[in-house]
Chain A
Amino acid sequence: MNEMRKNLILVALVAIILLPFNQAEINSDIEDEVLSFQWSMDFGEVYVSTKPLATIENIYVRTSSSTLAQGIASVYSISYDGVENWRVENSNSTMSDLSPLAYVESGNGGCGEWPDMLLVGWSDGLFQALNANSGEVVWQHYTETRGWGITGDMLVEEETVTLPTRNSVDQLCLNGDLLFSQDIGYGWRNGITHAAGYYWIGDEVGNLWSINSDGAEYYSIGDGKLRHSPLHLPNGDLLLHLQTSSGSTIFQFDTVSNTATAITESGFSPGKPIVVDGYIITTDSQQVTSLNCANQCYVVDFESFHSNGEISEVFGKIVLPRNTVEGGYGQFSLLPNGELEALGLATYSDDWYGTAGAESQIIDGQKFLLLANDNANLKLYSTAAPKPVDDDSDDNQWATILVLLCALFLISATSINMLRERFQSAFKFFILFLTVLLYFTLGDIIQSWSELINDENTKSEIWDDEWPEEWLGTQIVIFEFTDQTVVSGGLLDYDTVLTLTEAAAEQQGFELEIVDSSLGYYVVSIDGSAGEGWEYSVDGQPGVMSAEYSTVQYDSVISWIQL
């Protein structure tokens, strides 16, 4: 009995340790596909309150600042390599810049034409259309402020942008021409939605406004604040998440009868709801909720979580920033029946308060993930770049066909000569066939042979705590010169010691001198330094074959030691 009790306690301890919210990072939706850290960019003592925007070519992110002493509110354009393309500052914008950025592709319409643009609404009321490639101002529009200016989501349509100002809704052609401006109630983080021929927006006193070029009309929803874009439901209604003094209430607004129906009560400070697979996902300080609004909305499921900002759909998962001092990102899966499944909390070393959603992008099969929170540290993660299947497969196909044809010819020639009892000729063709076969399989044979004859030693613990945490799970190369040690990390997807070393050398600006001896490639010098020679080890184990045949893992540490 005592033994059983001990076992039960042990099981309970293990169960407690293995809590549902286990520590992990956001991963891809495909097994074995890892989102690896690439780079981070620290913007200083400012905030990032709205999610970065990723296009095929660049990344755009905005920072906000409460005081100039902390920093100047800015918009950045950054390449996927982590290089800043341009930066636009606004020293007048000293309230929280929460209005999400919008990217517009070049085009033309009835009112003119425009280039690729990044649309920015500042908290000082200035609205700018910046050239997406250069950051230059294409056009700008001044709006009225009272305390603050533009803080909500703008709506970009085919030829127009409709933006919420402090107390109006302005619609402009994408060439900058003002089409109309309608006064509404004061708003904050209130965005625009277009439905049933009208533009809809909430205000700080619980009114829902419907606007068009002819005028504006409002409907009282309740005693509270509407601080997000009304969500256009599949059935044509609007979903509103009203912030109240006791928490929040979710409403369904009928755009035909202009009446609101309360669906459910929820927590404080609601975030921005989204539609995922036909279901509505809302969030607040209390929970994440999924609703079915095919007809009359009803709650399907909810999970406890604290998030007040943007909800994102990232590679098949629902991801929300946790707006607490501990930070992190809640991950949920939406089941086909609308139920939510908690997948755990993704944590990072710089976790803190945050409302900015996670941005994801897929470019040529390679997945990218961008994260930023109120620490204003932008991080990029990505999967490995997929090999160009079409090119490689075509080349590989032809090479394989050619080799197979050669092999077939040689075997046939051997057989024919054997049948004709011309044994010398048969041997000629056979030996050529064997040589070709061995040549093409040499790498695999060497690897297998090495595994067969060498001891499987325990991998040495060679991680250095002084290395950046971002290097965890990446390939690292250490160059130990006689007078200094240089370490190169964060490398990914190299298969052999030689290619990994070449990449690390290039990263450090080292020149490698390599010669081909009869027993393999020989590194004569690194960065012009030869000494008595160089030797390498992989994960603390001495290499036992030529560097071009010695394979490495995704997290191998190679050490080159100069003698």
Chain B
Amino acid sequence: MFQSYGIHGPVLGPVTGLAIDVVLLSLAFWMLASPDMRKPNNILTFITLVTSISLLRVLMVPLPNIQPVTVAALIIGAQLGARRGVAFAVLVTMISNFIIGDGIWTLYQAIAWSTVAIIGANSNIISNGKLALNKAYGYAIICAFLFDFIVSLSVIGTISLSEFMIYLLNGIPYDLLHALGNLTVVAWFGIWFSDSIAHFQTMEEIEQTVVDGYVTRT
């Protein structure tokens, strides 16, 4: 659809692209700047998470609009909080787009997935440490449409409002596939992924508690 008449979004020059990458990277690391993330184990775990989801996204490129990152951002945001969720979203976008292809859409994808992570952080899809599937399904559908809408905003300024509406309408089949893909990921891997992240969080809490206890005793 980028190639449609007038619907293409601006093309980034090398300097502009670099500037955007620097901004995104800075944002990601700023979001990660917290005491507990200074521990090597935590950093390694987070990097593994980012890398594996990025790789999964690259592998699933042949499946149009099947975006495992959306569900991952939602759950990570719910389990680890908005800051880490945003950092995760930005890093995964940058790393995977480095392989798939970079452009103005990178910025909007990062914003969109960050928004999903924030929604996840403020949702109640995690209850007693467990993923509430029904709620997760609902948020998965909403986030699919939301993500696509935010990414579509990249063409604002190059087309009129009516053309933008037509552009959105033409994208509905893609949105449906995204939503179905999200539902599938949540249904099959949601609980397992959430439990994995919960274990990571649980370990952090234990370590923090031990540290706090040591500090108190001393």
Which A residues are within 8 Å of any B CB, using their own CB? 424, 427-428, 431-432, 434-435, 438-439, 442, 445-446, 449-450, 453-454, 497, 515-524, 530-537, 542-547, 563
Contacts and interface: CB of A to CB of B under 8 A. Distances in A.
A518 B65 contact: yes
B166 interface: yes
Contact of A432 (B64, B151, B184): B184
Interface string B89-104: 0000000000011110
Given A522-B2, A544-B170, A533 B177 contact: no
A459 to B, nearest CB: 15
B187 A515 contact: no
Contacts of B67: 518
B5 A542 contact: yes
Contact of A517 (B101, B133, B177, B183): B101
B3 A516 contact: no
A290 B197 CA distance: 88
Contacts of B194: none
B3 A522 contact: yes
Given A442-B64, A534-B3, A547-B3, A431 B173 contact: no
Contacts of B2: 517, 519-520, 522, 533, 546
B169 A453 contact: yes
A438 B172 CA distance: 13
A439 B66 CA distance: 9
A515 B6 contact: no
Interface of B: 1-11, 61, 63-67, 100-103, 105, 109, 133, 148, 151-152, 166-167, 169-174, 176-177, 180-181, 183-184, 187-188
Given A434-B180, A446-B173, A545-B170, A439 B63 contact: yes
Interface centre among B4, B152, B181 (most CB of A within 10 A): B4
The 9 lowest CB-CB distance pairs between A and B, nearest first, are A542-B5, A515-B101, A533-B8, A428-B187, A435-B180, A543-B4, A533-B11, A522-B2, A435-B184
A521 B166 CA distance: 19
B103 to A, nearest CB: 7
Contacts of A532: 10-11
B174 A531 contact: no
A420 to B, nearest CB: 17
Contacts of B1: 519-520, 544-546
B177 A439 contact: yes
A533 B4 contact: no
B105 A531 contact: no
Contacts of A531: 11
A531 B11 CA distance: 8
Given A439-B177, A442-B177, A445-B173, A535 B6 contact: yes
Contacts of A530: 11
Nearest to A424: B133
Given A517-B105, A519-B2, 12 more contacts: A432-B188, A435-B183, A453-B169, A516-B61, A516-B100, A517-B101, A522-B8, A531-B11, A533-B9, A534-B8, A543-B4, A543-B5
A522 B177 contact: no
A454 B101 contact: no
13 contacts: A431-B184, A435-B180, A439-B63, A439-B66, A454-B170, A516-B61, A521-B3, A522-B8, A524-B103, A532-B10, A534-B8, A535-B5, A546-B1
Contacts, number: 119
Contacts of A435: 66, 177, 180-181, 183-184
Given A518-B67, A522-B101, A545-B4, A449 B11 contact: no
Contact of B4 (A516, A517, A544): A544
Nearest to A445: B173
Contacts of B61: 516
Dominant secondary structure of chain A at its interface with chain B: mixed
Given A517-B103, A543-B3, A533 B169 contact: no
Given A431-B184, A522-B2, A535-B6, A438 B103 contact: no
A432 B3 contact: no
Nearest to A429: B187
Contacts of A537: 5
A563 B157 CA distance: 14
Given A524-B103, A545-B4, A518 B109 contact: yes
A446 B172 CA distance: 9
B187 A431 contact: yes
A523 B174 CA distance: 19
A262 B148 CA distance: 85
Interface centre among B3, B64, B187 (most CB of A within 10 A): B3
A134 B58 CA distance: 51
Nearest to B100: A516
Contacts of B176: 438
B101 to A, nearest CB: 3
B22 to A, nearest CB: 21
A533 B10 contact: yes
Contact of B177 (A438, A450, A544, A563): A438
A245 B75 CA distance: 100
A497 B4 CA distance: 11
A477 to B, nearest CB: 13
Given A428-B187, A518-B65, A520-B2, A454 B166 contact: yes
A371 to B, nearest CB: 39
Contacts of B183: 431, 435
A517 B104 CA distance: 10
Contacts of A453: 166, 169-170
Interface centre among B133, B171, B173 (most CB of A within 10 A): B173
A31 B131 CA distance: 61
Contacts of B5: 535-537, 542-543
Contacts of B65: 518
Interface centre among A427, A432, A534, A535 (most CB of B within 10 A): A535
A449 B170 contact: yes
Contacts of A438: 176-177, 180
A210 B126 CA distance: 104
Contacts of A516: 61, 100-101
Nearest to A444: B173
Contacts of B7: 535
A203 B101 CA distance: 77
Contact of B187 (A432, A446, A449, A519): A432
Nearest to A541: B5
Contacts of B167: 544
A450 B9 contact: no
A546 B177 CA distance: 15
A544 to B, nearest CB: 5
A4 B136 CA distance: 76
A546 B183 CA distance: 24
A431 B180 CA distance: 7
Given A431-B180, A524-B11, A449 B109 contact: no
